[in-house]
Structure 1
Amino acid sequence: MPILHTDFLLPALALGVALGWLGGLFGIGGGLIAIPVLGLACGLDQLHAQGTALVMVLPNVVIGFWRYRARHGIAWRPALLLGLTAIAGSEFAAHLATGLPAVTLRLMFAGFLIVLAGWLLRGLRRAPPATAAPAPAVLSARWLPAVGLAGGLMSGLFSVGGGIAAVPLLTGLFGTRQAVAQGLALALVTPGSAAALFAYARAGAVDWPLGLALAFGGVLSVSAGVAFAHRLPERRLRALFALGIVATAGAMLASA
């Protein structure tokens, strides 16, 4: 049964605005923030938190991909290749996730957050200058489906993370420019998120009223978060976000 009632509509919208703004601010996506909040603050179990967060994530990634493509001229062929292969991975992983105990899924997600935080901090230490040329390609484009499949598996299992993993793979192995890699990662996440949402909804693991309220609020504020992020030092911002992920993972482990 949905947990959202009329009395909670405005708080849910406000939460969506906050999550959308934070997702735009950190440039990683509102789902990473929304899932722990829905679990710890709203009382949803891990499965329902992930399914409900997808309702908010999906329109945000669609808008994000459209803007990246318009600004950076991203080709349709690699975008479609990544997106279609991600669907297969997302569908399989989402079915797997819906069959796991909620506590097991929460522990897995907390572990994923800790690994992700370490990855982000390592990337800050090793990040090249913004003016540096893209790395030379190590793999040919025929390996792109493997990136889509891996990203789809991560998106389906945890609702988030596929795009984050895809960006360093695209820049480091395929010689893709950072901005184009981020746009292609959104192309990967968009259909994968839709497939995962369908699987979670079919399992009854989506609170639609709450998810739609969060989505509406997030769409209103994500652009403002992106704009504000440009005023802050990026390395410091991402370091704080990585530390925040570690703290969130610790809270989830303590409450599991």
Structure 2
Amino acid sequence: MIFVLYAALGVFVGTLAGVFGVGGGLIVVPVLIFSFKMQGVSPDIITHLAVGTSLATIVVTAIGSIITHHRKGTVVWPIFIYLVPGTLLGATFGVFTGVSLKGETLQSALGLFSMLVSIKMWFGWKSVGSDKHMSKIIITVAGTVIGWVSSLFGIGGGSLNVPFLCRANVGMKHAIGTSAACSLPIAATGSLVNIIMGMGDSSLPEWSTGFVYWPAFLGIILTSVFFASIGAHLAHRFSADKLQKFFSVFLFLVGIQFLWQNFPSEW
């Protein structure tokens, strides 16, 4: 029954990855935490295991999404190249932060940030194309922050990457395609570091390697890869304005989720 839940989760994750250029971790992590509690996983490692497993699934989901977006010509590879060094560094430190600190306050801050960004996007950010020149330093620094936050919370980075690229005057569809490409190095680095740091933990459940739980990983990717391609095709059926509206609603819901999840622990 749990495996069926993981497979159903993959449908939503894959679709989100393709349509919005996100890894789906904002849905995966809370659901995995819930399922791990049902399975009796130690509370001390539940969050770490959920984050690490989420990042591992994003690696596979991102590949299917990238292929489709590349064929559509919506991945701005020059920007991607300058984002990658920062995302790799940030993703590494994000895992270390997650293991050493509690994330409730940071998640609440991210929730507020997501809601503010969604409101701004709803009323409109300029989206005039993908040929706007940006400072290489700004791109790399932004990539570091995006990578850090993403690996800390087990997400693909689209909820931060897409707004950043739109703010820099990258077209919405190109922002989504480029964000999808960036989610791969973030997730690959984050999942690898989570595996290494979780090795030898005696409280890990069976079929785990470090902080990656393989039954959940397999269940999710069985459906997510296929639906990531479908989601990417759907993204090209909407106008840039409608896509931006849809994404702003998605971000707002993400913000509410983070705030609601952490509200009881802070009062």
Report the TM-score, using the length of structure 1 for normalisation: 0.78
Pair 1:125 & 2:120 matched: no
Contact 2:13 2:24 in 1 (8 A): yes
Is the 1:89–1:152 contact (alpha carbons within 8 Å) kept by the matching residues of 2? yes
Choose from 169, 186, 190 the match for 1:192. 186
1:72 and 1:179 in contact (8 A); partners too: no
Task: For 1:50 and 1:180, locate their aligned partners in 2 and report how far apart those are by CA, in whole Å.
Answer: 27
1:161-204 Cα shifts (integer Å, max 9, x gaps): 6333233333433x433333333323332112111101111222
Q: Does 1:244 align with 2:250?
A: no
- CA distance in structure 2 between the partners assigned to 1:134 and 1:75 by the alignment: 11
Q: Aligned letter for 2:48?
A: L
Residue equivalent to 1:116: 114
Q: Paired residue for 1:4? A: none
Q: Is the 8 A contact 2:59 2:187 kept in 1?
A: yes
After TM superposition, give the deviation of residue 70 of structure 1 in Å.
Answer: 2.4
> RMSD between aligned alpha carbons?
3.1
Which residue type is aligned with residue 191 of structure 2? L
Task: State the alpha-carbon separation in 2 of the partners of residues 135 and 23 from structure 1.
Answer: 21
Instruction: Give the gaps of 5 or more residues in structure 2.
Output: 199-209
Distance 1:245 1:78 in 2: 26
Q: Deviations over 1:39-64 (max 9, x none)?
A: 24542732222111112211122222
Query: Which structure 1 segments of 5+ residues have no match?
Result: 1-6
Mapped partners of 2:247, 2:158: distance in 1: 16
What is the alpha-carbon distance in structure 2 between the residues aligned to residue 63 and residue 96 of structure 1?
Answer: 29
**Equivalent residue for 1:148?**
143
- Structure 1 pair 139/243, CA: closer, same or farther in 2 (3 Å)? closer
TM-aligned CA distance change 1:46 to 1:118, over 3 Å = farther
Q: 1:166 aligns to what?
A: 161
Task: Verify the 8 A CA contact 1:40 1:252 in the aligned structure 2.
Answer: no
Q: Paired residue for 2:229?
A: 223
How many angstroms does 1:92 deviate by? 1.6
What's 1:208 paired with?
214
Contact 1:135 1:172 in 2 (8 A): no
Partners of 1:61 and 1:207 lie apart in 2 by: 19
Aligned length: 243
Aligned-residue sequence identity (percent) comes to: 22
Partner of 2:207 in structure 1? none
Q: Deviations for 1:225-250, whole angstroms, at most 9, x for unmatched residues?
A: 45566579546644543443244224
Q: For 1:239 and 1:75, how far apart are their aligned partners in 2?
A: 22
3-state SS, counterpart of residue 224 of structure 1: helix
The Cα of 1:213 is off from its aligned counterpart by 1.4
How many angstroms apart in 2 are the aligned matches of 1:42 and 1:33? Answer: 14
Indicate how the Cα distance of structure 1 residues 181 and 250 shifts in structure 2: closer, same or farther if over 3 A, else same: closer
Letter of the 1:114 counterpart: L
Say which of 4, 7, 20 aligns to 1:13.
7
| Alpha-carbon distance in structure 2 between the residues aligned to 1:239 and 1:182 | 13
Native 8 Å contact 2:21 2:179 kept in 1: no
Deviation at 1:210, TM superposition (A): 0.8
Q: Which moved further from structure 2: 49-58 or 110-119?
A: 110-119
